[in-house]
Amino acid sequence: MNYFVVEEYRDAIQIINMKAVHLLLCLITLTAFGQPDTLPSFGIISEPIFWKGMDPQAQIYYYPYYNGVQIIEVDYYNRSLEEGRMEDMIHPRGGSSYHDAINFNARNGYLVRNEQGTILQNYGVDQSDIKRLLAPGSETRISHKWRMEQSRNRGWMNGIIYADEFGFVYHVLASEQGRYGGKVGLMDTLGNIVLPIEFDQITYVKGDYYVVKDGMWGMYDDFLQLRIPIIYNGITPVSKGIYLVRREGAYLVDRDNHFLNETRYNNIEVVPGKELLIYTIDSKYGLIDTLMNSITPPVYTWISRLDNDAFVASDTSRRMALIDPKGKQITDFKYSFEVPRYMGQGYYRVKGEYHDSTMSKGSSMQLLGLVDSTGKECLPTKYESIQLFNHNLILAMRHRKYGLVDVNDSIVLPFDFDKIYGFYEGRTVVEQNKLFGVIDTNGKFVLPVNYKQVSCSTEGRYVLRDINGKIGFIDIETGIASKFSYQNMGCFSHSMVRAYRDGKWGFLNAKGEEVTEFMFDEAYEFTELGYALIKIDGKFGAIDTTGKMVAQPIYSRINYTNDRRIILSEGKTKVVIPDK
């Protein structure tokens, strides 16, 4: 059987009317003090007082008849939105009408009628909307499944929670049509009440109906059999067929309310889909699995889960140890009270005390190190910062200088640099004394630290500014370089690059040859189709990858086709590049 959650009828007309009266009184007061008969402009609305759409129509949906009974849904979203807009004008506070429609919602109502049009049940529908109903046989009927698949406005649209070919189920967070309190129940697709309208809340999650009554929680199954009695302060699903319940403590039970063990826990931290759970007994932490098997005794003063499902625990001295995802402690309590960070590739960054011969007796510093998934300390805690790179390289800082080490703490690049940037295509930029160079993943220099700037590195070519302030490029693979005689340069694309010299732009090829004159006021990067826009005296044209002018600079407007071809136009003249 499939069900709806239904609302106990509450007439909200008085609420809306009172707000309208409130607004009208405010407007009368403004008019008495010489104001015009329009709403004051606060950047919200500047239409006449009784603007069009003051009482927007609710949307009505008619479902098919089942055994001579039809369900009708009345969607109050538009009315809720309008009420929110009115409230925002009365009490401006910067909130949007969308937000107000949630706070001031008149929730959907439902009617049950027979084939003669007689209303058998009314769950939250205004009398004015009942008068708008179409006669049986004249309405357009929709399937429950179709309605489920439409865009629905959560917050006032009773979120969908179940669907099949026969119908669908959705729940209401408050049964009262106004907005606060009320009771909810379940109605099936025949309009029958299958759970009485006596619950404060009903939530459907993967085959279970969680209900709240008088502040207490219970659970019904898909067949509406009460599986967990309504006696708990809370229920949380843990895994298939296992639930965390709270009542003067925390326990795990099955779908028939059988306790998995008799231990009373202070708390159990549930993370759905995880194998191990964190529990506390008498302020001590431990780990159990979802079948209540003990993984660790409650001996820790604190446990937290890391990003890769491993854990970190602390002892009474506030020292930290790592626990792997299976619950095995893999390090001693030797690290400082700072949550370790999982760095990826099976490594954890930890903080611990460091002391060397340069420090005074008895003094130490809190520095960073690296631990692998077995608990082995790969890097001792002696670094000021650690960042795991690819190729098993680690960017580290020591004595305020950067270098590279491998996972065995062997130095790959000395700690002589002010900055080392991220790797891209197997290379990274390094900075030393305000000059830049490039190294590969082995720490080998491919460009010396001789440049004031390193910019684009597309197609294996770096655009550089030398110590004299001039710009050129170098091909890392071939060693081909351009002259360093330009004031600006773009990025390579299609083996071409734009360059700027003496107030004009031109283009170079991959050999560093100037393939166009430097005569353009503006030049743009090549598109993916291999054409670049240029501009002379405010008019646009285009060149190809040989530097040939394929469109003279006589056009004022630029556009693009769906397949990214360039459209240039001037008056009624138009050219498309490339022209298929």
- Tell me the per-residue pLDDT of 403-417, one tens digit each, with 9 for 90 and over: 999 888 999 899 999
Domain 520-577, CATH: 2.40.10
Predicted local distance difference test score (pLDDT) of residue 3? 53
Q: From CA 512, how far away is CA 473, in angstroms rounded? A: 8
- The residues that bridge with 405 in the sheet, in sequence order, are 394, 411
pLDDT for 66: 82
Radius of gyration of the chain (CA): 36
199: its two tokens: 């619950």
* Residue-level pLDDT at 92: 63
Query: In the prediction, which pLDDT does 117 show?
Result: 94
Residues of the chain with pLDDT under 70: 1-55, 83-84, 87-107, 145, 148-182, 189, 359, 362, 389-391
- In this structure, what DSSP letter does residue 458 have? G
The C-alpha atoms of residue 94 and residue 232 are separated, in whole angstroms, by 40
Among candidate residues 561, 532, 528, the one with its CA nearest the CA of residue 544: 532
**Beta carbons within 8 Å of 219's beta carbon, 6+ residues apart:** 208, 209, 210, 211, 226, 227, 228, 235, 243, 255
Q: Where in the chain are all domains bearing CATH 2.40.10?
A: 520-577
Give me the DSSP letters along 208-271.
Answer: EEEEEETTEEEEEETT--EEEEEEESEEEEEETTEEEEESSSEEEEETT--BS----BSEEE--
H-run or E-run covering 24: helix 13-32
Q: Computed from CA positions of residues 265, 269, 275, 276, in that sequence, does the dihedral angle turn out positive or negative?
A: negative
Residues 6+ apart with CB under 8 A from 245: 217, 228, 232, 234, 235, 251, 252, 253
pLDDT at 13: 33
Of residues 297, 279, 295, 282, the one with CA closest to residue 238? 279
Position 239 scores a pLDDT of 82
Per-residue pLDDT, 182: 64
Residue 196: name the closest of 166, 226, 168 by CA: 226
Residue 513, C-beta contacts closer than 8 angstroms, at least 6 positions apart? none
Question: What's residue 164's pLDDT?
Answer: 38
CA distance 388 to 86: 55
Predicted local distance difference test score (pLDDT) of residue 77: 74
CA–CA distance, 370 with 74 (Å, rounded to integer): 61
